[in-house]
Amino acid sequence: MPLIRVESLTKIYSSTKEGFAGIREVSFEVNEGEVVGVIGRSGCGKTTLLRCIAGFESSDSGKILLDGKSVSRPGPDRFMIFQGLDQLFPWLSLRGNLIFAMKTVNKDANMKELQRKAEYYLELVGLSEWGDCYPYQLSGGMKQRAFLARALSVNPRLLLLDEPFGSLDALGRKAMQDLLLRLWGKTGTTIILVTHDIDECIRLSDRILVFTKGTLKFNLINPLPRPRMSEDPAYMDFYGKISRILEKDANLKWANAVLR
Ligand X SMILES: Nc1ncnc2c1ncn2[C@@H]1O[C@H](COP(=O)(O)OP(=O)(O)O)[C@@H](O)[C@H]1O
Instruction: Decide: is 37 part of the binding site for ligand X (CB under 6 A).
Output: no
Burial of 10 (0-12, 13-18, 19+ CB in 10 A): middle
Burial of 118 (0-12, 13-18, 19+ CB in 10 A): buried
The region of 35-43, 107-115, 139-147, 165-173 touching ligand X under the rule CB under 6 A is: 35-43
CA–CA distance, 100 with 97 (Å, rounded to integer):
5
Written as one letter, the residue type at 241 is: K
**Residue 206 C-beta: closest distance to ligand X, Å:** 21
Q: List residues binding Mg ion (CB under 5 A).
A: 46-47
Report the residue from 24, 47, 144, 203 that binds ligand X according to the rule CB under 6 A. Answer: 47
Q: What's the length of the chain?
A: 260
**Residue 179 C-beta: closest distance to ligand X, Å:** 23
**What are the residues facing 209 on neighbouring strands?**
38, 219
Instruction: Decide: is 222 part of the binding site for ligand X (CB under 6 A).
Output: no
Instruction: Decide: is 251 part of the binding site for ligand X (CB under 6 A).
Output: no
Instruction: Decide: is 44 part of the binding site for ligand X (CB under 6 A).
Output: yes
Cβ nearer to ligand X, comparing 43 with 76: 43
Contact of residue 48 among Mg ion, ligand X, none (CB under 5-8 Å per partner type): ligand X
Q: How far is CA 9 from CA 34, 159, 203, 212, in A?
A: 20, 19, 27, 15
**Residue 57 C-beta: closest distance to ligand X, Å:** 8
Instruction: Decide: is 21 part of the binding site for ligand X (CB under 6 A).
Output: yes
- SS3 breakdown of the chain: % helix, strand, coil, rounded to 5? 40, 25, 35
Cβ nearer to Mg ion, comparing 38 with 154: 38
Report the residue from 42, 225, 227, 258 that binds ligand X according to the rule CB under 6 A. Answer: 42
Question: Residue 58's CB: how many other CB atoms inside 10 A?
Answer: 10
Cβ nearer to ligand X, comparing 71 with 246: 246
CA–CA distance, 86 with 92 (Å, rounded to integer):
13
Which residues lie near ligand X (CB under 6 A)? Answer: 13, 21-22, 40, 42-48
